[in-house]
Amino acid sequence: MDILNKFSLDGKIALVTGASYGIGFAIASGFAAAGATIVFNDINQDLVDKGIAAYKEAGIEAYGYVCDVTNEEQVNAMVAQIEKEVGVIDILVNNAGIIKRIPMCEMTAAEFRQVIDIDLNGPFIVSKAVIPSMIKKGHGKIINICSMMSELGRETVSAYAAAKGGLKMLTKNIASEYGEFNIQCNGIGPGYIATPQTAPLREIQPDGSRHPFDQFIIAKTPAARWGEPDDLTGPAVFLASDASNFVNGHILYVDGGILAYIGKQPK
Ligand code: NAP
Ligand code: GCO
């Protein structure tokens, strides 16, 4: 047996949502390296165009679509267009997401709802759109991008933690409800990754020192570093491939050990 073949994505079509840049772009690039055809969406044409150019620069001919994952009509139309222009989606990564860092009692209900809508309702809407064709095809892989906040809370991220905690359980429920159709649904829980979403937490201070939160994360991470988007590509290829056909309803934390560690004692 050539065990590496189990990790091949040759002939597979992968949709990664919100993947013009950041974690989604890295995961899609890893899928391409494993042989998959890459399809992605983002919220406006400018981002999609920039994404297509970035994929092209990386030697990847990606298909890009403008679609807001919270809009069921747009999502259903996008999936139908993908199936017509590219083919049936074999692998879905629900990556699109936002965060709002506001103390809960200062957050409006509208702000809370917006985070839940994108980070939790979005994965529901897109998964619901792709599962019927996966059932017809006889297989499918769904990977939900969860978070440390699927397990832990912290100040100012109430909506995000609620969404990512819900996404963990949506992952387990999709696994439970559709496992019999040879669909595996798992999550990836990244630790703290250096992307535009976390840039505010890593800003160099006026005195030239590292952001206090940056120092905190370094002390909380056994690997003593922020993750890079590329750290997620191997785990994502594993969960998208035949190598994980009996892994279902699992959240794979790719966090450098944060969840295992009480944190380094301050000097
Ligand atoms: P990012 O840099 O902010 O990228 C998020 C992407 O999602 C952007 O392209 C964004 O487009 C897109 N998006 C936002 N709302 C959308 C919508 N309604 N429909 C379609 N696309 C939408 O974030 P990231 O750091 O790469 O994170 C990607 C995922 O990983 C998110 O789910 C995040 O919660 C999760 N995550 C991140 C970290 C981390 O440390 N960075 C750790 C754990 C989990 P716009 O530019 O237009 O907003
Ligand atoms: C924050 C960060 C985190 C990361 C990630 C950790 O403000 O705490 O943005 O939420 O984005 O989700 O796994």
> In the 3-class helix/strand/coil scheme, how is 173-192 assigned residue by residue?
HHHHHHHHHCEEEEEEEECC
Residue 222 lies in a domain: no
> What is the model's pLDDT at position 267?
84
Q: Which atom of ligand 1 is nearest to the CA of 119?
A: 32
**Is residue 198, in this structure, part of any structural domain at all?**
no
Give distance in angstroms: CA of 29 to centre of ligand 2.
Answer: 22
Does the predicted TM-score (pTM) go above 0.75? yes
H/E stretch holding 101 reads none
| d(C-alpha 30, C-alpha 3), whole Å | 18
* Residues, the chain: 267
202: in domain: no
220 in a structural domain: no
Sign of CA dihedral 246, 240, 41, 136: negative
Number of folded domains in the chain? 1
127 located within any domain: yes
**For the sheet containing 63-66, what is the strand order?**
63-66, 37-42, 13-17, 91-94, 140-145, 183-190, 251-254
Q: What is the pLDDT of residue 241?
A: 98
Range of the domain at 102: 3-193+227-260
Would you say 159 and 108 are in contact if contact means Cβ atoms under 8 Å apart?
A: no
What are the pLDDT tens digits along the chain (267 aa)?
Answer: 789 999 999 999 999 999 999 999 999 999 999 999 999 999 999 999 999 999 999 999 999 999 999 999 999 999 999 999 999 999 999 999 999 999 999 999 999 999 999 999 999 999 999 999 999 999 999 999 999 999 999 999 999 999 999 999 999 999 999 999 999 999 999 999 999 999 999 999 999 999 999 999 999 999 999 999 999 999 999 999 999 999 999 999 999 999 999 999 888
Question: Is 211 within a domain?
Answer: no
Q: Which of 177, 40, 153, 151 is nearest to 101 (CA)?
A: 153
- Kindly report the CATH number assigned to the domain that includes residue 182: 3.40.50.720
* Residue 1 to residue 217: CA distance in whole angstroms: 42
> Hey, what are 163's tokens?
């969404």
How far does residue 201's CA lie from ligand 2's centre (Å)?
9
Residue in 77, 100, 111, 84 with CA at minimum distance from that of residue 13: 84
Structural domain includes residue 129: yes
Ligand 2 in contact with 148 (CB < 6 A)?
Answer: yes
Asked whether residue 151 is domain-assigned, the answer is: yes
